[in-house]
Amino acid sequence: MTAGIQPVSENPGGEVATPRHVAIIMDGNGRWASQRGLPRSAGHKRGAEAVREAITGAVKAGVGYLTLYAFSSENWNRPADEVMDLMGLLKLYLSREIRSLDKQGIRLRVIGRRSRLSRDINEMIDKAEEMTRDNRRMTLVIALSYGSRDEIIDAARAIATAVVEGRESIEAIDEARFESALSTHGLPDPDLIIRTSGEQRLSNFLLWQAAYSEFLFLDTLWPDFTEETFAAAIEEFQGRDRRFGARP
Ligand code: FPP
């Protein structure tokens, strides 16, 4: 087993294990809105409310890490007004929800290419990460301007630079070293990756980290995702048989 692959919670009493880390590709905001004759922005707004549901569901289930794919590196290619809407929602979220996250004992961490985000969003993220850094009940990871290939390239560059500068040897590059250079360093790999809206692909999300993840594709559109949807997903995960490549 490598550094990032850790078994889900210990299971001495034979109870079914809870996933330590759940990651979600929140998809279907646009379709939810168009089904109602509403603008896409209305779907994103309801999507931000569903984020609260997912967090409550994760806390209730006892999940240690919840990662949400809020904005991908490819999302920058959407029309400017939609990008602005999404950034506005994120700012609103960061300004309104941080206190509540803190009170619930939730630590916030943001992964992704921060350099592409505006200065005010970066400042809000720094403040929120700092304010919640000692919280231990759950870590909420928001993937923002995130693309897994970018992340892997950045890691390769950092390690190559260290080798070229003579600070590290090629022989010392192993899975643990590579993981330490990823933006998810220190997080366990996701046990379960959920994607809503019926689409069945990873879309450049946690490609390295998903090596042994279970996948759950739900038809539910993201704005309709509730605490109960989360609980049902955990139950489905608990029925899966995970072997990490080993024989039963
Ligand atoms: C996918 O729906 C969703 C997104 C691109 C953005 C996800 C953002 C949120 C849920 C709201 C803000 C997040 C936080 C953390 C406050 P889509 O627009 O691709 O939907 P479609 O495939 O139906 O068009």
pLDDT tens column, 46-57: 999 999 999 999
* Fold (CATH) for 21-147+189-206+222-238: Undecaprenyl pyrophosphate synthetase (3.40.1180)
Question: At 244, is the pLDDT very low, low, confident or very high (cuts 50, 70, 90)?
Answer: confident
Q: Which among 24, 25, 29, 219 is the best mutation to test ligand 1's pocket, defined by most ligand atoms within 8 Å of the CB?
A: 29
Q: What percent of the chain has pLDDT over 90?
A: 90
Q: Which of 86, 128, 93, 87 minimizes the C-alpha distance to 109?
A: 128
Q: Which residues participate in catalysis according to the annotation?
A: 27, 75
Q: Which atom of ligand 1 is nearest to the CA of 40?
A: 18
Domain boundaries, the chain: 21-147+189-206+222-238
Ligand 1: lining residues by beta carbon, under 6 Å: 26-31, 44, 47-48, 51, 68, 70, 75, 86, 89-90, 93, 142, 197, 222
Structure token digits, residue 82: 């939609």
C-alpha of residue 90 to centroid of ligand 1, in Å: 11
What are φ and ψ of residue 111, in 5° steps?
-120, 155
Structure token digits, residue 52: 């609260």
In this prediction, residue 245 carries a pLDDT of 78
In this prediction, residue 242 carries a pLDDT of 79
In this prediction, residue 243 carries a pLDDT of 76
Query: Do 144 and 122 meet the contact criterion of CB atoms below 8 Å apart?
Result: no
Query: Do 23 and 69 meet the contact criterion of CB atoms below 8 Å apart?
Result: yes
Mean per-residue pLDDT over the chain, rounded: 94
193, with CB counted inside 10 A (0-12, 13-18, 19+), is buried
In this prediction, residue 241 carries a pLDDT of 83
Q: How far is CA 113 from CA 55, 74, 131, 154, 185, in A?
A: 23, 12, 21, 10, 15
In this prediction, residue 34 carries a pLDDT of 98
pLDDT tens column, 101-158: 999 999 999 999 999 999 999 999 999 999 999 999 999 999 999 999 999 999 999 9
